[in-house]
Amino acid sequence: MTIVIDRTAKLRHHAALFDDTASRLGLDLQEAAIRGALKFEEISDAVLRCTGCSEPEACAHWLKEEGAVVTAPQYCRNTKLLKRLQGAD
């Protein structure tokens, strides 16, 4: 039972990191999905890529920093997707 809870918590944590990263870049994932620029499978794949990241603590710190940003951190495994969404606006 604990393993399932741990996996669920990890997925939720990384889903939040991905969503918060998109928001910090000025992207609204829900809006992108509604207008067809982002498929549900892409969101799932992005969260799974995020769970494989070796820098979640650095990401959380980056998300707390102030100031405008135009790109995700260098280590982000979802940079390609996020850049595509930025161009889809």
Taking the model in full, what pTM does it have? 0.90
Q: How far apart are CA 36 and CA 30, in angstroms?
A: 10
Give the residue carrying structure tokens 């161009």.
87
3-state DSSP helix/strand/coil percent for the chain, to nearest 5? 65, 0, 35
| Residue 82: band (very low, low, confident or very high) from pLDDT cuts 50, 70, 90 | very high
- pLDDT tens for residues 50-65? 999 999 999 999 999 9
Is residue 15 predicted with pLDDT exceeding 90?
Answer: yes
> Residue by residue, what is the 3-state secondary structure of 15-52?
HHHHHHHHHHCCCCHHHHHHCCCCCHHHHHHHHHHHHC
Higher pLDDT, 4 or 32: 32
**DSSP helix/strand/coil, 12:** helix
